[in-house]
Chains A and B, each alone.
Chain A
Amino acid sequence: MNNLRILIADDHDLVRKGLRLLIEEHAGWTVCAEARSGREAIAQAEQCNPDIVVIDVSMPDLNGLEATRQIRKSCPKTEVLVITHHDSDEMAAEVLNAGARGYVLKSDSDEELAHAVEALARHKPFFTARVTEMLITSRENGSSNPVESMRRRLTVRELEVLQLLAEGKTVKETAAALGIATKTSDTHRTNIMRKLDLHSVAELVRYAVRNKLVEP
């Protein structure tokens, strides 16, 4: 329980500041690194191997859910606590599917966030009453889960390309961001549009926004 090393990932300075203050109030809890994007979170997690990652869903340059998936893969001992203002049953299911074992809404109290960290430190899942209710609703509805079905159709690389394009980057900028050739990046774009039956970049952006890959 003592000496927890925590990585904070959120693109908003104020949120990171608030989280850091909350964490540092607890004896033995330290913030080992901060990240402002999903991609940065993965790199920082691999470098400092934290006990817990507290991560936001909506972040530029790879969202928190994809980052969670990759962190769980490369640092299997690291637990992930997702914090979000998206209050939906689909999102709750998505968070679980990504491999996070805690999910707290940004409007939840500081105490709940602290309890979540404590539970994850013991490798126990943590969900607030509100989230538990959403998870049950999601199961009962047999929710079609659009993000998950899209994930099954696209490769991780294609999802990365989709998010960067939806954030307004050109094919060339996307290639540079991912360290791949422009031609490869363009092939990914063509494949994404074919798989999702989209016919313009505007449609692609709308699709990404609707499925909460990026914020409107």
Chain B
Amino acid sequence: MPGSLLHIRILLADDHPIIRRGVRNILEATGEYEVCGEAADGNKTLEMALRLHPDIVITDISMTPTNGLEVTRRLHGALPDAKVLILTMHDSAEMLRAAALAGASGYLLKSDAEELLVRALQTLNAGQRFVSPSFAPALVEQAFS
């Protein structure tokens, strides 16, 4: 039942349609999430977010001309209630720190998506942060401090 209040509304941003298709499939299989929009670049993501007011924005980092971190920063200012889950293949501590600084609540590696995407969204929805388990807990603390 799209549009139902029971659904958590997700905006999906990635410049690769194949990836969006994979993510959408994981979400729709749960019956708990509604993908309210898809965007292939950062500007479109911001525009759609302001229009659609999603609960959670799942965004890639590598997008042009506005990358996912910049999108996160601007969303954090414009829509403070919308949570951002970064979905990326960048597994460096610097990138995690940059995402935390930009205001992301979650950081999930694409290699973990199949297994952990739903858990990450549940965690964010409960008001907590989620980071892929391959990052050491101490490093995560430091990044979000």
Q: Which residues of A contact B (CB under 8 A)?
A: 12-15, 17-19, 21-22, 83, 85, 106-110, 113
B16 close to A106 (CB less than 8 A): yes
Say yes or no for B25: interface residue by CB 8 A criterion. yes
Determine the chain A residues whose CB is within 8 A of the CB of B18 once the complex forms. Answer: 15, 18-19, 22, 83, 106, 110, 113
A110 and B113 form a contact (CB under 8 A): no
Asked if B3 lies at the interface with its beta carbon under 8 angstroms from chain A, I say no
State whether B40 touches A17 (Cβ < 8 A). Answer: no
Within 8 A of A (CB), among B1-52: 15-23, 25-26, 40
In this complex, how many residues of chain B approach chain A with their Cβ under 8 Å: the count is 17
Q: Does B111 contact A (CB under 8 A)?
A: yes
Q: A12, B25: Cβ atoms under 8 Å?
A: no
Complex A-B, nearest 8 residue pairs according to Cβ-Cβ distance, in ascending order: A18-B18, A18-B22, A17-B22, A18-B21, A14-B22, A106-B16, A107-B15, A110-B17
**Cβ-defined partner of A18 (8 Å) among B15, B20, B40, B89:** B20
Chain B residues, Cβ within 8 Å of A85 = 16
- Minimum distance in angstroms from A206 CB to a CB of chain B: 18
Q: Which residues of A contact B23 (CB under 8 A)?
A: 14
What are 28 A-B pairs at a CB distance below 8 A? Answer: A12-B110, A12-B111, A13-B113, A13-B114, A14-B110, A15-B16, A15-B19, A15-B22, A17-B21, A17-B22, A17-B114, A18-B16, A18-B17, A18-B19, A18-B20, A18-B22, A19-B18, A21-B21, A21-B25, A22-B18, A22-B21, A106-B15, A106-B16, A106-B18, A107-B16, A110-B17, A110-B18, A110-B21
List chain A residues, Cβ under 8 A from B22: 14-15, 17-18, 21
The A interface, classified by DSSP as helix, strand, loop or mixed, is helix
Residues of B within 8 A of A22 (CB): 18, 21
User: Nearest Cβ distance between residue B19 and chain A, in whole angstroms?
Assistant: 5
Number of A-B residue pairs having CB atoms within 8 Å of each other in the complex? 52
Contact at B21–A12, with CB atoms within 8 Å?
A: no
Docked CA distance A108–B21 (Å):
13
| Complex Cα spacing A83 to B16, Å | 11
B107 to chain A minimum Cβ distance, whole angstroms, is 16
Bound Cα distance A19, B19 (Å) = 9
Closest B-chain residue to A112, C-beta based?
B17
Closest to B89 in A: A12
| Interfacial chain A residues near B15, Cβ < 8 Å | 106-107
